[in-house]
Amino acid sequence: MSATISGCPATTTKSCSRIKIVGEAIPNIPWEDKPAGYSELVWRFSGNPVIDRHPIPKAFSIYNSAVVPFEGGFAGVFRTEYKTRMPHLHAGFSKDGINWQIEHDEIKMTGADPEIARYEFAYDPRVTKLEDWYYVQWCNGYHGPTIGLARTRDFKHFEQLENAFLPYNRNGALFPRKINGRYAMLSRPSDTGHTKFGDIFYSESPDLVYWGRHRHVMGRGGNWWQDTKIGAGPSPIETSEGWLLFYHGVLNSCNGFVYSTGAALLDLEQPWKVLYRSAEHILAPEALYETTGTVPNVVFPTAALCDAPTGRIALYCGAADTFTTLAFVNAFELIDWLKTQPKVC
């Protein structure tokens, strides 16, 4: 185990007083210390996968899902793939963030225009606590994938809002507060296939209905692990050093796509300005549950719990489009490392 002083890695004790994380304390955050002698920034939970195959009767698998602190425990929205192989959204609850009770029936949203409410498909949810609501952003089928939006207070009743963008768009990640007086979201416009483009953009809204003032944040490219396309992961985490963003990057190998995880720091008031970005991936498919499954070689981050005082981050990932897994990283250590990375990759 690495030595810790007030929960901060011994090697970065100074940065704990320098770096502030804006957010709540999550004293019961799922956590394991870094294994002794392990030199990588990010390490995997020894109990992975957190959600194995066939966790509820309807599900073939549950992955690429979202988790937030809720009423002293945790709640989430889960990409639940049925044996039809169609993805649906299910709510789930957990006391410890590791053992999950997933609802057996899918979320029934209310309130949307029937045109928007009809189901085509629903996958890759993120959940963001914003003001006094939990907002769900997911890839919603409407003549192709776009970003659906809904909100809940109890993870039982969900009110669906308008889709945020036109299709084709994926990987919507709402910021946890207004920026310059407007709601803000990252997304990844795309086309019908896995074409070699896919950059992250920033959009603003006065009301969570009308979105505009779109700005380019960062592009695919540079090193090959993120050369085919990239997409935002969980909602960015606010820190004194900028918005900490986890994202996925895609390598196009002769054996198919490889999805890995990177990180970036975005300017606090102008988040379309990238301050630092990982030239290397920080988590790539290596464990058997990441390399073997429905889609081999996929690590897809979609939720990050962060305990503000200690900087502990529990990162939930989809693995091989089959499993839900957990990895850990310390925010202070990650930020210090990001500052050694080039501003543009």
* Whole-angstrom Cα Rg for the chain: 18
Among 31, 259, 272, 328, binds ligand BMA (CB under 6 A): 259
In angstroms, give the least distance from the CB of 258 to ligand BMA.
10
Among 45, 74, 100, 123, binds ligand BMA (CB under 6 A): 123
Based on the shown chain and the rule CB under 6 A, indicate whether residue 321 belongs to the binding site for ligand BMA: yes
Distance, CA of 98 to chain centre = 17
Q: From the CB of residue 48, how many other CB atoms can be counted at a distance below 10 Å?
A: 20
Do 338 and 265 meet the contact criterion of CB atoms below 8 Å apart?
Answer: yes
Strand order across the beta sheet in which 212-218 lies: 169-174, 183-189, 200-205, 212-218
* Phi and psi, residue 64, nearest 5°: 45, 60
Among 53, 295, 308, 309, binds ligand BMA (CB under 6 A): 295
Tell which residue, 164, 168, 134, has the closest CA to residue 151.
134
DSSP track, 34-89:
PPTT--SS-EE-TT--SB-S--STTEEEEEEEEEEEETTEEEEEEEEEETT--EEE
Nearer to ligand BMA, 34 or 126 (CB): 126
Residues in contact with ligand BMA, shown as a per-residue x/- string from 138 to 167 under the rule CB under 6 A: ------------------------------
Nearer to ligand BMA, 60 or 93 (CB): 60
Residues recorded for the chain: 345
In angstroms, give the least distance from the CB of 128 to ligand BMA.
18
Based on the shown chain and the rule CB under 6 A, indicate whether residue 64 belongs to the binding site for ligand BMA: yes
| Alpha carbon distance 159, 175 (integer Å) | 19
In angstroms, give the least distance from the CB of 121 to ligand BMA.
10
Among 107, 173, 263, 298, binds ligand BMA (CB under 6 A): 298
Nearer to ligand BMA, 307 or 321 (CB): 321
In angstroms, give the least distance from the CB of 300 to ligand BMA.
5
Nearer to ligand BMA, 70 or 257 (CB): 257
User: Rounded to a whole number, what is the distance in angstroms from the first to the last CA of the chain?
Assistant: 33
CA distances from 52 to 41, 68, 89, 138, 310 (A): 25, 20, 17, 22, 29
Mark the segment that binds ligand BMA (CB under 6 A) among 7-15, 178-186, 200-208, 292-300: 292-300
In angstroms, give the least distance from the CB of 50 to ligand BMA.
16
In angstroms, give the least distance from the CB of 310 to ligand BMA.
30
Distance, CA of 333 to chain centre = 19
Among 300, 323, 328, 332, binds ligand BMA (CB under 6 A): 300
In angstroms, give the least distance from the CB of 63 to ligand BMA.
7
- List contacts with ligand BMA (CB under 6 A): 64, 123-124, 259, 295, 298, 300, 318, 321
